[in-house]
Amino acid sequence: MKNHLLAALMACASAAFVANTAHAADIKVGLLLPKSGPYAALGKEIEDGFNMALEEGGKSEDFKLVTEDSEAKPQVGVAKARKLVLQDEVDAMVGIVSSAVLGAVRDFVDGSKVPLVVANAGNDEATGKNCSRYITRVSFSNAQINRPMGEWMARIGVKKVYTLAPDYAAGHQMIDAFAESFKAAGGEIVGSEYTPFGKTQDFGPYLTKAKAASPDAIYVFYAGKEAITFVKQYDSFGLKKDIPLYGSGFLTSPLYVAAEGPAAIGVTTALHYVPTINTPENKAFVAAFKAKFDRAPSEFAVQGYDAGRVLVEAVKAGATDRASITEQLSKVSYSGPRGPLTIDPATNNVIQNIYVYETVADGDGLTQKMIGTIGLVRDPANGCTLK
């Protein structure tokens, strides 16, 4: 019974996607993801989503995968990207979780003309002033998620905000985008701090300083292990009952919100995907993912899934090598689990909805209660001259 149900769900989720994959050729793909460090779980989730898309496309044997651990460290990422391109001679690369790694590999990718499908790292410059026709992003840009939250929080009446984030490219870009739109909408940033990335175990001193600034709310970006530690300490140090916590939705990702437990209840954040999106495409995807992995998919799973799906679509359209994959990737457009997904030809960044959600109790567990949708968010070109 369970197998029949799964087969039906998969068929429904991907009927159009499976059709016409007969032209798939041997494509060698280098997966560059963290398998260690603070973002290791994110890398595994992206890989699971990616493999699911290839299987669903019905041609996973036509894609040869070579996997490398970036450790979420820029120098390691560059060394591994060079190995994938020069030694393994991959036709395309997929992955990269950290904005710092993406910034570090950008020139090598551009120079070697190997298409890279970014399945997480939000570095604004990679689809802005340092864009490349070889870099296509199916995840998000850091500004794309945080800019709408600045406007939204000002609109609901939040006036004074204190911000916190890890001290690396993503932390700065996410907070800059939030602060800019929040201030433009009339809000005030009453203080800001950047914490050492991957090293901060005790957020106590930062939280004490934040509280002393008397904000209406605190807005943060943290992801992976740091998000779990931060959300738990925010609650246990007693701030949650007095100062509401907001952020980009990686803070309370379905991937690890269970590890945060009740401390995550009431936290309001924004993302481009949550498993509670109420569409037939998403319901089918969630059911198929749960049947395969016994857990709800997170934004990282969907990013991996869409990275696999755009590659399958490119091959379906006749791509066989680096140049033709590059050409096909910028033409991708479909409606999937997250809603509409279009690659913007002006920047190669994804155009997509952003969802504001609150983490709420659901029986013994936690779920994502949708409280707003900002439709079809598209980044400005920001100095990108692709078109």
- Which residues of the shown chain bind ligand BEZ in the complex (CB under 6 A)? 39, 97-99, 120-123, 170, 223, 250
Helix residue ranges, H only, the chain? 2-18, 40-56, 74-82, 99-112, 142-155, 169-184, 204-212, 224-236, 257-260, 280-293, 299-316, 322-329
Residue 297 CB, shortest distance to ligand BEZ, in Å, is 16
Residue 163 CB, shortest distance to ligand BEZ, in Å, is 16
Nearer to ligand BEZ, 56 or 124 (CB): 124
Nearer to ligand BEZ, 97 or 210 (CB): 97
The C-alpha atoms of residue 4 and residue 7 are separated, in whole angstroms, by 5
Nearer to ligand BEZ, 63 or 140 (CB): 140
Q: What is the dihedral of CA 133, 137, 142, 147, to 10 degrees?
A: 90
For the chain, give percent helix, strand, coil, nearest 5.
45, 20, 35
Which residues have C-beta within 8 Å of that of residue 247, sequence separation ≥ 6? 219, 220, 221, 222, 267, 269
Residue 275 CB, shortest distance to ligand BEZ, in Å, is 17
Residue 208 CB, shortest distance to ligand BEZ, in Å, is 26
Residue 125 CB, shortest distance to ligand BEZ, in Å, is 11
Nearer to ligand BEZ, 143 or 245 (CB): 143
Nearer to ligand BEZ, 161 or 251 (CB): 251
Tokens matching residue 309: 């799906």
Nearer to ligand BEZ, 27 or 169 (CB): 169
Residue 66 CB, shortest distance to ligand BEZ, in Å, is 23
Phi, psi of 81, deg, nearest 5: -65, -40
Residue 368 CB, shortest distance to ligand BEZ, in Å, is 17
Q: Which helix (H) or strand (E) holds 355?
A: strand 350-362
Phi, psi of 154, deg, nearest 5: -65, -40
Phi, psi of 340, deg, nearest 5: -65, 140
Which residues have C-beta within 8 Å of that of residue 157, sequence separation ≥ 6? none
The C-alpha atoms of residue 230 and residue 200 are separated, in whole angstroms, by 9
Nearer to ligand BEZ, 105 or 312 (CB): 105
Nearer to ligand BEZ, 39 or 50 (CB): 39
**What region, left, alpha or beta, does residue 23 occupy, with left being phi > 0 and alpha being psi -120 to 50 degrees?**
alpha
Residue 122 CB, shortest distance to ligand BEZ, in Å, is 4
Q: Are 320 and 63 in contact (CB under 8 A)?
A: no
